[in-house]
C-alpha cells in the first residue's frame, strides 16, 4: 500500500478482539463484546480519523518496504468465533473495512472447547466454518493461524509443537489456497523455544498480547496488541489507542503525563 500524500504514522496500533455477541457472566464479558458496543467502537475510531489496514500491508510497513497512511491500525480477532461473521462482518463490510482473524484450524465449524474449564458456566460457543470463512475472505478479510487446538505452546514437546504450528499453517493454506505467513500465540503465551519453532514452521511474523505501540523496530515475532474488553466503552477504547495501554480508565492519562513529568525531572 502506498500513500505518497499521507504522513507515515510512525507507530501502528493492533487491536485484539475475541467474541462478538452476548455475554452470560463476568468472565465472558472480558472477552466478549456486544454487537452494539462493537459498533460504537468502530464508529468512534472512524470519527477519530482511523482506518484499519490489511495485515500484509502492516508487515510490509514494519519491514520498511511499504507505506501506511497516518491513522492506520490493524483490527484482529482471535479464535475465529462465528459471532464475528454474524455481527462484525456485516458492519465492517458496510464501512468498507476489513480485519484479520486468527483461526484454530483443528476446530473449524466446532466450538471453543479450550474454554470449557475456564468459563464458570461451562458454556462454549460456535466457531467459523469453511462456508463463512470463504465468504469473509471474498469480502476482504484475511485469515491466519492460531494453532491447531489452542494449547499453551510452552507445554508441548518438539513433535507436538510442530504439529500445532506447521500443521495449522498447512491446514489453512490447503483450505484457503493462499499463503498463511502469520500467527497469534494461543493465550499470548510463548517462550524462546516457541518463537524458534514458529520461525522454523515458516511463519514470518507472530502476534503477542503484550500491550503497546508497534514501531518499525518491533520484533516481528512479538508484535504488540491492545486487548479490547467487553466492558470497554468507546471512550475507554480511544484512551487505550491514544496511550498504547490496556488500561482505558480515566486515570490512565493522569498516570501517563505524571510519569513523563517525573522522568524529565530525573
Is 19 among the domain residues? yes
Is 2's pLDDT higher than 50?
A: no
Task: Let me know if residue 21 belongs to a domain.
Answer: yes
What is the domain range of residue 220?
Answer: 13-232
pLDDT the model gives residue 1: 45
Q: Quick one: pLDDT at residue 262? A: 62
| Residue 48 near residue 64, CB atoms below 8 Å | no
| CATH number of domain containing 116 | 3.20.20.370
**Proportion of the chain above pLDDT 70, given as a percent:** 92
Q: Is 185 helix (H, G, I), strand (E, B) or coil?
A: coil
All residues at 6 or more sequence positions from 208 whose CB lies less than 8 Å from its CB, including other chains: 184, 185, 188, 190, 222, 223, 224, 225
Show the cell assigned to 126: 460456535
Kindly state whether residue 148 falls inside one of the protein's structural domains. Answer: yes
Tell me how many domains the chain contains: 1
Burial 210-245 (b: 16+ CB within 10 A, else e): ebbbbeeebebbebbbbbbbbebebebbbbbbebeb
Average pLDDT across the chain, whole number: 94
**Residue 259 pLDDT > 70, yes or no?**
no
Give the gyration radius of the chain's Cα atoms.
18
pLDDT in tens, 37-80: 999 999 999 999 999 999 999 999 999 999 999 999 999 999 99
From CA 30, how far away is CA 40, in angstroms rounded? 17
Flag whether 255 is in a domain. Answer: no
pLDDT (average), residues 173-191: 98
Amino acid at each position: 500500500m502506498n500513500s505518497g500524500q499521507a504522513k507515515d504514522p510512525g507507530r501502528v496500533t493492533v487491536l485484539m478482539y475475541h467474541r462478538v455477541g452476548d455475554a452470560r457472566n463476568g468472565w465472558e464479558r472480558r472477552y466478549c463484546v456486544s454487537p452494539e458496543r462493537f459498533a460504537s467502537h468502530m464508529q468512534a475510531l472512524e470519527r477519530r480519523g482511523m482506518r484499519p489496514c490489511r495485515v500484509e500491508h502492516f508487515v510490509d510497513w514494519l519491514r520498511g518496504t511499504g507505506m501506511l497512511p497516518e491513522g492506520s491500525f490493524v483490527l484482529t480477532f482471535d479464535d475465529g468465533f462465528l459471532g464475528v461473521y454474524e455481527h462484525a462482518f456485516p458492519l465492517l463490510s458496510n464501512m468498507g473495512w476489513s480485519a484479520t482473524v486468527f483461526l484454530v484450524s483443528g476446530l473449524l465449524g466446532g466450538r471453543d472447547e479450550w474454554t470449557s474449564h475456564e468459563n464458570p458456566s461451562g458454556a462454549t460457543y460456535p466457531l467459523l466454518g469453511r462456508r463463512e470463512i470463504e465468504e469473509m475472505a471474498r469480502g476482504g478479510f484475511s485469515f491466519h493461524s492460531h494453532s491447531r487446538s489452542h494449547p499453551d505452546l510452552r507445554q508441548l514437546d518438539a513433535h507436538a509443537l510442530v504439529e500445532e504450528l506447521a500443521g495449522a499453517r498447512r491446514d489453512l493454506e490447503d483450505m484457503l489456497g493462499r499463503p498463511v505467513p502469520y500467527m497469534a500465540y494461543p493465550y499470548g503465551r510463548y517462550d524462546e523455544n516457541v518463537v524458534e519453532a514458529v520461525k522454523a514452521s515458516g511463519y514470518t511474523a507472530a502476534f503477542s498480547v503484550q500491550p503497546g505501540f508497534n514501531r518499525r523496530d518491533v520484533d516481528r515475532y512479538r508484535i504488540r496488541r491492545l486487548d479490547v474488553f467487553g466492558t470497554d466503552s468507546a471512550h475507554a477504547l480511544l484512551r487505550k489507542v491514544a496511550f498504547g495501554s490496556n488500561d482505558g480508565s480515566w486515570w490512565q492519562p493522569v498516570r501517563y503525563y505524571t510519569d513523563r513529568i517525573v522522568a524529565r525531572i530525573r
